Amino acid sequence: MIDYIEHVYSNVNIDEGPQAIEQLLLEIFFHEGISTKELARKTLLPVPLVAAIKREFIKAGLVVQDRGVRLSGEGKNYIENQLGYKGLNIILYNRLMNDEWTLDEDFREEIIKLNKLFDERPQVDVTVDQSKCTVETSIKRAILCLKYHCLIGKKILCLGDDDLVSVSIGFIIKKLFYDIKMSNTEICILDVDNRFLKYIEEIAATENLPIQCVNIDLRFPIEDKYKKKFDCFFTDPPYTLDGMRLFISRGISCLKSKMGLPIFLSFAHKSPNFAMEMQRVFINMGLVAAEIIPRFNKYEGAEIIGNSSQMIVLKTTGQTSPEIEAFFNDAIYTGEIKKTIRIYKCKKCGLSIKVGFKEKYRTIEELKNKRCPECNENTFELESKTYYTEV
């Protein structure tokens, strides 16, 4: 079957990229008889440009002008079978797109199941800046992907997935389609932590979710087989500038060479000076910020970042390219950059125990799991903190 989106894009070649043309066609699919002006309003495109795209669709036989703009049989067939919308629960889809859904009503069964799966996740490794987002946050990320027209029929990448976003996306797909076998969405995870990969693989097999797990250290260059394959990516990288640069660079290497593809970046709220440096990184890689949502992500027990972080939605442009392509050997994790020794006191016996990058216990979570060597208690309070001095 002809790729009509690319065909029309080659004839119109708009700066917004082929994503905007696909969105316009989908608006006609979901709003039969829509006017040209309403199409312009929904896609944020000028009316003359919408009219030009519409004419190309009419020439291609996908659209007819009849009491508004409507799809032909060929157009409906293309959207359902080529773009992957066949078997879609259109009522739920529209509720999600129009913010008319509620977690408790629309995802009651999924939340019960996901809560159990999230509770049984492997312990986070804070030395690689892992933290656990809530079930509600993970679902909200999946729905945000849907709103950016990058979930149905797309190839989705997760760079690291201790938040189980891949699983939430899989559950949303199952909810949206009467039969998940009709969906052609593909999800891939690239992660260095085999514990999470193994756990997600087990869930995917049990729940019949379209997830592929790959063990990769992102310090190394991306293999060719993963380059230019994906329509979007999610990442909640280390909250350091170099960590963010590295993860976004690797993600860009994996994205298709198209304008307007979204990048879903979760990152801690930072000072204005740090935020300015972040924006320089985005500009250097040819990215633009489409949306910034403060306090979008909620985390379990991440007091150091106030239990929340922002969602930054970036989009690719004609100048997008990764800043880092070779092996990256600099420090990227907070613990590598800010090496500390913390002294914790056991609340029961008063024993003082060192915790830090070069100590027997690297993190407080590790100490709690192994318990106090003196009395076997697992509650501690922070006494002091100092920084390593390199000799």
Percent of the chain with pLDDT over 70: 93
| Model confidence band, residue 390 (pLDDT cutoffs 50, 70, 90) | very low
pLDDT in tens, 44-82: 999 999 999 999 999 999 999 999 999 999 999 999 999
The pLDDT of residue 355 is 85
Check residue 391 and give its pLDDT: 36
Give residue 257's pLDDT.
94
CATH classification code of 339-387? 2.20.28
- What CATH architecture applies to the domain 91-316? 3-Layer(aba) Sandwich (3.40)
Q: Which residues on neighbouring strands pair with residue 34, listed in sequence order?
A: 69
**Token match 């003082």: residue?**
352
Strand partners, 212: 188
Interval 92-145: pLDDT, tens: 999 999 999 998 889 999 999 999 999 999 887 666 666 788 999 999 999 999
Say if residue 182's pLDDT is above 70: yes
Q: Domain spans of the chain? A: 4-83, 91-316, 339-387
Angle between helices 90-97 and 18-30 (to 10 degrees): 120
Q: Which of 32-41, 213-222, 332-341, 364-373 is predicted least confidently?
A: 332-341
91-316 and 339-387: identical CATH topology: no
Q: How does residue 241 score in pLDDT terms, banded at 50, 70 and 90?
A: confident
Q: Report the alpha-carbon distance of residue 169 to residue 192 in Å, rounded.
A: 21
The verdict on domain 4-83 having CATH code 3.40.50.1820 is no
DSSP secondary structure letters along 107-128: SHHHHHHHHHHHHTSPPP-GGG
User: What's the pLDDT score for residue 325?
Assistant: 94
Distance CA 358, CA 236 (A): 26
Give the pLDDT of residue 236. 94
Torsion of CA 45, 49, 51, 53, to 10 degrees: -100
Beta bridge partner(s), residue 343:
354, 384
- DSSP letters, 51-97, are HHHHHHHHHHTSEEESSSEEE-HHHHHIIIIISS-TTB-HHHHHHHH
d(CA 243, CA 240): 5
pLDDT at 129: 65
Residue among 176, 174, 175, 159 nearest 246 (CA): 159
pLDDT, tens digit, 9 for 90 and up, residues 242-290: 899 999 999 999 999 999 999 999 999 999 988 998 999 999 999 999 9
Give the CA diameter of the chain: 81
| Residue 1 pLDDT | 66
pLDDT digit string, tens, across residues 187-201: 999 999 999 999 999
